Amino acid sequence: MTTQDAVPGDELLELLELLAEEASPTLLERWAQRLRREHTSVGILEHVDRARNLALRIRGSAARPQQRAAGMAALVDIARELALPHELGTLLKLITKRARLLLNLDMSWISLHSEDEDCSYVRAADGHASTITVGFRVPSDGGVGNEATRHCAPFWSSNYLSDDRFPHSGVIDEVVRAEKLCSILAVPLQDVSTSLGSLYVASRESRSFSTDEITLLSSLGELATVAIEKTRALDRTRAEVSELRTDTTEAVHTSQAMRRIYETHSALLDLVLRGESVHSLVTEAAEKLGGTLLVSDTVGNVLASTGDIPEIADFEHHWISTDVSEQHHPCQPITGVWSCPVAAGSEQFGTLVLRPNETPDEHELRLLRLVAQTVAMLLLIQRSTAVAEGQLREELFEDLLSSPWLSPQQHAERARRLSINLNEPHVIVVARPEGKGHGRAAGWASSYAARWSGLKSVRGDNVVLLLPGAEAGAVARSVSRELSELLGHPVTVGAAGPFSEPARLPDTYQEAMRCLDALTALGNTGHAAAAGELGFVGMLLSDNHDVDGFIRTTIGPVLDYDSAQSTELVRTLRAYFESGSSPTNAAEALHVHPNTVSRRLERVTTLLGPNWQHPERSLEIQLALRLQRTRHTLRGPEQPTSLTGHAGSGVR
């Protein structure tokens, strides 16, 4: 090169000044263009181009440390940002956004390996993506991501679709083609022993990734791996803390519930030990359970309740009662109603029924079971007490039936000590089971007598009850119904009374026995009746032969009508029966018109009922008419007829 071909020294000094001032590549290019215009020598122009290129290289070498420093500063800022607590989804979005901005590229995304499948799924993406979206499945048979994971190092391609250095996947190629991507760089996300996935950046232009860019993205990948692991660990910790908090809350709730159950059970046991009634126990329990409680015995009789439970009104007892089992767990036989057996061991005393105000939880059902056990304990204690007291009661009843040498006053005093007032109306009931179960009937009789403040005795196959009341027939049918349901077969029951004098008890018992025998003789086995309900048969069986009572029961309304209206219905009835139930013949005997007899008989039908002419009823009416005439004849006309006396005041 000659001196004439050299670049002038002044121009070189100007170039050096531009480099010293860190001029932009544009200014350096303007310097070269000006010299091209001023010089035409080929040698000078070649030197100008060479000087420009050297200047640009010098400037690039001087800017690289600044770019590296800027990249490291940006990476530090990203590290600070990733160190903050984030949800996993938010963290992944942040990483992809920072990766794209860090290298100033078009797109970035993160794929994480699936624990259950041999593939990865895109979990976050940034840039104008239409196909690479969250949930996109990345197959494991090709692509730069799989190469980066396999080599545990960054892997990039300046022209992805035409690069044959790695196996391709048709699915990934379609996505790259749809997004019009060209250059792709992937770095693995992995810790010491586990590969989490890959971080990708991509450009739609062909470019080569510099060492600084690969280093920056690798560093970001390492930071991202730590942040993802930390976030996952934090999520697991949060889940465990939440689970512990839930367990703690449940434990506190269970502890409080168990404490409430313990306190309620203790209060109920205190009531039992104080000798309170079943009603007091049920009332206390209903308040704690929040609902209506009812206790019934094994045949459905209500022992105590705090209110009505309409849901069980139309259901038979056996649908509500539960079978005795080893667990004795509550069950729900009807919607909105819970029941639990009141049982001790294998013996069931009855059923506890609850209609709660709100649906009970497991703790309230456990309390219901404890209430049932407490009620069973109380009933067991009451039965044990009743057995001890029952012996005294049975001894008293036996003495009343078969110890005439004791005075009525002595009997009354002994009864008073057992809270029985024999001066009040009582009836005697004799029940005979028509089948097996005499021992069970005796046990039931003890409970029944205690329930109604009465006395019980067993004589042979018969159960004898002394019960307060004035309607012997109603009491007999109640005993028959309940005992028959318990035993499962008919029970014949005879009753007599009422009486209110201890001295009359043995005679009343004999009358009840004769009533029982009469029911058998008349073919009414399995039925229940009182002596007074057997018509003239009952009168004959009775010790006092209550003629007045028989007449009053049979034709009393007719006698009262004649007395009040001064009519002759009784005389018409006599003539009617004496003439063979012929109204015409009766009219001739009475010397009246047949229509008169018909009207009188219609009045009799109104007074005695439509079945007064049935054979059995007709026989009793005729007997009553004869007894009334005989009694009137014996007393004489000067003694007025009286049918208002008490039982036992009639003529014997």
112: part of which helix (H) or strand (E)? strand 107-113
- What's the pLDDT tens digit per position in 294-308? 888 877 788 888 888
**Ranges 186-195, 225-234, 387-396, 456-465: which has the least confidence:** 387-396
Q: Which residue has the higher pLDDT, 413 or 586?
A: 586
Residue count of the chain, please give it.
652
Average pLDDT over residues 154-166: 90
Mention every residue, 6+ apart, whose C-beta is less than 8 A from residue 197.
110, 111, 112, 113, 120, 123, 145, 149, 188, 189
**pLDDT at res. 300:** 75
Q: Which residue has the higher pLDDT, 360 or 75?
A: 360
Tokens for 589? 């005997």
pLDDT for residue 639 is more than 70: no
Average pLDDT over residues 210-216: 82
- The residue behind tokens 């029961």 is 553
**pLDDT at res. 131:** 77
At 324, the pLDDT band (50, 70, 90 cuts) reads: very low
pLDDT for residue 143 is more than 80: yes
Average pLDDT over residues 259-282: 85
Average pLDDT over residues 222-228: 85
Q: Which residue has the higher pLDDT, 448 or 617?
A: 448
| Rounded-to-integer distance, Cα 253 and Cα 270, Å | 25
| DSSP E strands, 191-266 | 195-203
Name the 3-class secondary structure at 336. Answer: coil
**pLDDT at res. 393:** 66
Beta strands at 347-356 and 337-344: parallel, antiparallel or unpaired: antiparallel
Q: Which residue has the higher pLDDT, 284 or 58?
A: 284
pLDDT for residue 635 is more than 80: no
Instruction: Give Dmax (Cα) for the chain.
Output: 187
Q: Which residue has the higher pLDDT, 37 or 226?
A: 226
Q: Which residue has the higher pLDDT, 507 or 485?
A: 485
Mention every residue, 6+ apart, whose C-beta is less than 8 A from residue 651.
545, 547, 548, 631, 634
Distances (CA, A) of 396 to 389, 404, 502: 11, 12, 12
pLDDT for residue 277 is more than 80: yes
pLDDT for residue 18 is more than 80: no
At 650, the pLDDT band (50, 70, 90 cuts) reads: very low
pLDDT for residue 641 is more than 70: no
**Ranges 38-42, 303-307, 390-394: which has the least confidence:** 390-394
pLDDT for residue 651 is more than 50: no
CA 120-221-229 angle, 5° bins: 70
At 581, the pLDDT band (50, 70, 90 cuts) reads: confident
Residue 96, burial from CB neighbour count under 10 angstroms (0-12, 13-18, 19+): buried
| Rounded-to-integer distance, Cα 594 and Cα 599, Å | 9
**pLDDT at res. 630:** 66
| Rounded-to-integer distance, Cα 505 and Cα 398, Å | 11
**pLDDT at res. 429:** 92
- Are 483 and 444 spatial neighbours (Cβ–Cβ below 8 Å)? yes
| Rounded-to-integer distance, Cα 526 and Cα 278, Å | 34
- Are 409 and 468 spatial neighbours (Cβ–Cβ below 8 Å)? no
pLDDT for residue 597 is more than 70: yes
- What's the pLDDT tens digit per position in 342-371? 887 777 778 888 888 888 888 888 888 888
Q: What is the rounded average pLDDT for all residues in the chain?
A: 79
Average pLDDT over residues 241-267: 85
**Sign of the C-alpha dihedral computed for residues 22, 26, 28 and 30 taken in this order:** negative
224: part of which helix (H) or strand (E)? helix 211-273
Q: Which of 499, 496, 613, 621 is nearest to 556 (CA)?
A: 621
**pLDDT at res. 430:** 92
| Rounded-to-integer distance, Cα 179 and Cα 176, Å | 5
- Indicate the angle between helix axes 594-608 and 547-565, nearest 10 degrees: 130
At 62, the pLDDT band (50, 70, 90 cuts) reads: low
| Rounded-to-integer distance, Cα 271 and Cα 70, Å | 84
pLDDT for residue 15 is more than 80: no
pLDDT for residue 88 is more than 60: yes
Q: Which of 188, 170, 169 is nearest to 228 (CA)?
A: 188
At 652, the pLDDT band (50, 70, 90 cuts) reads: very low
**pLDDT at res. 64:** 55
Q: Which residue has the higher pLDDT, 23 or 587?
A: 587
Tokens for 167? 């196996």
Name the 3-class secondary structure at 606. Answer: helix
Average pLDDT over residues 575-587: 85
| DSSP E strands, 471-607 | 491-499, 528-530
Mention every residue, 6+ apart, whose C-beta is less than 8 A from residue 458.
442, 445, 464
| Rounded-to-integer distance, Cα 236 and Cα 302, Å | 57
**pLDDT at res. 642:** 42
| Rounded-to-integer distance, Cα 82 and Cα 84, Å | 5
| Rounded-to-integer distance, Cα 281 and Cα 268, Å | 6
